[in-house]
Amino acid sequence: MSLRCKVLSVLLGAMLLFSGAEHAIHRWFIFPGFLQLEEQEAEQDLLRVSQAIENEIRHLDTFCFDWAAWDDTYQFVLSRSPQYIASNLTLSTFLDNRLNLIFFYDRQGRRLWGESHELEQGQQLPLALFRGAILPAALALPTASGQELAALKRTGVVATERGPLLLSVRPILTSDNRGPVRGTMVMGRLLNAALLGRLAEQTRLAFTFQRSTAAVDQGPLRFDKSDPQRLISYQPFADLNGRSAFFMRLETPRRIFQTVQAIRHHAVLFLALSSLVLVMLMSTALQRIVLGPICRLKEHAHAIHTGGDLSARLQLRRGDEIGQLANEFDVMMAEIDQKSAQIAAANGELQRLSGEDTVTQLANRRQFDARLNHEWRCLLRQQRPLALLLCDVDFFKPYNDSYGHQQGDRCLREVAQAIRKSARRPADLVARFGGEEFVVILVDTDQAGALTVAESICNAVRLLEIPHRASSVDRYVTLSVGAASLVPQAELSPALLIERADQAMYRAKQRGRNRVEAADPVSAPDDVPSFQLHL
């Protein structure tokens, strides 16, 4: 027997042994693992459904809290004003907010007002349908020592004659979440077919939400694998009182099971054929002529990918197609190396030009806007002040008309350098705002600090002694500066800081120019517009 036949026989026997071992591994280890993965995916899908329902309850609770912690609601419980009902508790309130039930109770648990509606038809439902759901126990809000009134709530699902009802119970407080508690507000949303359909569309899962029965109430999670086409999963869902009164039923296609079954059926034939092919491919000639050079080329490409050295060359000296491929690869890498260097240089220049003013070499308006938004967000978290100086060259148009535009550009460059030297901190930014206007961002600077820097800038420009025969305030070039500083707030925007600095600058121009003006003080917190939702 030749050596080649011996090698092929050994390889064939090894592949047959490997095929048997692989089949056993699939049968006893991999297949059970895929079935477990199928259950884990079903459990994750059930968790997604549960989270979707919890999110719906949370949204309902947020809406109920907005109404319960409202001065108008607080006064309604005391006065029972018909005007409040006519203005807020109309059918449109139920329809627009997808509410099926709104109840008001006093502190003794007596219902002051309540209505329930069927949203699809817009018809009122009898309150008796929900009488068994709103029990006195549901109105008892849990309290703990030191707990804030705004944290009191009860949320969950209760059973009604019309199906599961999402419920939120909140104490009636003032708009600043203070008591004493005057009663309880209850809002409910039926988990009907429309809502279930919307949740199913969100989760992309086919599930139902039903009353618990003995047939499925057998543990925290149960799977029905009797159908090879679909897996049915059951999971209990606690009601408002913590009992497993409901369950979620989820149907998922058994794609993993079907795939594994198909693999098992064809494994023997596939492994036998693959063994024969591999034995033929793993011959010595193939290894020396094809696989060896290709592996070298692959390792070379991988080294370039991981190391990033585009200058490395393979230099494989062969006269066949593999040698030509290696040579073309080296040529391609040389071109990529050259193009990468050119692109890097061009990107660096574009990055510099995109954020720089070509006349003054200061930051341009684009870089200023990005920096202002960044510093606003940072100081909003730290609750530290942010200051802005808006500087305008006095009578610059007459200066241009008198000295020419080239001299005007030279004047702007000298003024820009004087401003830059006055704002010396690394965190500060000097930018050209437009035309003859410059802007300075002063980080963590209050109004007094901003005025100090502004005066320093005005003095630095005066010391330049740039002649200005067209000025009516001085024989040299001067500035009018507006200074503004405030602590960023969530309800404000950086545009307010620019507006205040701009107003101060125009006040400086109106009062004679060549001066610094501070922005008006910020309004008191009571004067800040309220963003409270009025229903």
Q: What's 108's domain CATH number?
A: 3.30.450.220
- Considering the domain architecture, whether residues 372 and 511 belong to the same structural domain is answered as yes
Does residue 530 have a pLDDT over 50? no
- Considering the domain architecture, whether residues 254 and 377 belong to the same structural domain is answered as no
- Considering the domain architecture, whether residues 264 and 304 belong to the same structural domain is answered as no
Does residue 528 have a pLDDT over 60? no
Lowest model confidence (mean pLDDT) among 82-96, 227-241, 268-282, 518-532: 518-532
What is the average pLDDT across 25-30?
73
d(CA 354, CA 369): 13
- Considering the domain architecture, whether residues 143 and 217 belong to the same structural domain is answered as yes
Judge if pTM exceeds 0.75. Answer: no
Cis-peptide into 164, omega within 30 deg: no
d(CA 51, CA 474): 71
- Considering the domain architecture, whether residues 348 and 386 belong to the same structural domain is answered as no
- Considering the domain architecture, whether residues 308 and 395 belong to the same structural domain is answered as no
- Considering the domain architecture, whether residues 250 and 300 belong to the same structural domain is answered as no
Amino acid (1-letter code) at residue 334: A
Is 528 a member of any domain?
A: no
Is 99 a member of any domain?
A: yes
Two structure tokens written together for 140: 């008892």
Does residue 472 have a pLDDT over 80? yes
Lowest model confidence (mean pLDDT) among 6-15, 151-160, 167-176, 189-198: 6-15
Which of 270, 304, 339 marks a domain boundary? 270
Which of 238, 270, 302 marks a domain boundary? 270
Closest Cα to residue 71, out of 174, 153, 209, 204? 174
d(CA 92, CA 143): 34
Q: What's 436's domain CATH number?
A: 3.30.70.270
pLDDT reported for residue 215: 43
Parallel/antiparallel/unpaired status of strands 246-253 and 123-124:
unpaired
- What are the φ and ψ backbone dihedral angles of 58, each rounded to 5 degrees? -65, -40
- Angle (CA) 39 43 49, round 5°: 145
Does residue 304 have a pLDDT over 50? yes
Per-residue confidence at 177, pLDDT binned at 50, 70, 90?
Answer: confident
Lowest model confidence (mean pLDDT) among 96-105, 195-204, 369-378: 195-204
Lowest model confidence (mean pLDDT) among 256-270, 451-465, 475-489, 515-529: 515-529
- Considering the domain architecture, whether residues 16 and 161 belong to the same structural domain is answered as yes
Domain holding 400, by residue range, is 365-520
What is the average pLDDT across 468-494?
93
> 334 Cβ partners below 8 Å, 6+ apart?
313
Is 533 a member of any domain?
A: no
Is 532 a member of any domain?
A: no
DSSP state string for 190-254 = E--HHHHHHHHHHHT-EEEEEE--TTT-SSS-EEE---SSEEEEEEEE--TTS---EEEEEEEE-
Is 530 a member of any domain?
A: no
Is 116 a member of any domain?
A: yes
The total of structural domains in the chain comes to 3
Is 357 a member of any domain?
A: no
What is the average pLDDT across 506-527?
80
Mean pLDDT, rounded, of the chain? 82
pLDDT reported for residue 18: 73
pLDDT reported for residue 485: 95
- Considering the domain architecture, whether residues 155 and 250 belong to the same structural domain is answered as yes
- Considering the domain architecture, whether residues 32 and 67 belong to the same structural domain is answered as yes
pLDDT reported for residue 305: 72
d(CA 441, CA 181): 48
- Considering the domain architecture, whether residues 397 and 424 belong to the same structural domain is answered as yes
pLDDT reported for residue 402: 92
Which of 304, 322, 352 marks a domain boundary? 352
pLDDT reported for residue 423: 87
**Percent of residues, the chain, with pLDDT higher than 70:** 83
pLDDT reported for residue 216: 42
State pLDDT tens for residues 36-92: 787 888 888 888 888 888 899 899 999 999 999 999 999 998 888 899 999 999 989
Does residue 214 have a pLDDT over 60? no
What is the average pLDDT across 150-164?
83
pLDDT reported for residue 430: 94
- Angle (CA) 112 118 121, round 5°: 135
- Considering the domain architecture, whether residues 289 and 404 belong to the same structural domain is answered as no
Other residues' Cβ atoms within 10 Å of the Cβ of residue 420: 20
> 295 Cβ partners below 8 Å, 6+ apart?
none
Does residue 138 have a pLDDT over 80? no
Our measurement of the distance from residue 118's CA atom to the centroid of its chain's CA atoms, rounded to an integer in Å, reads 36
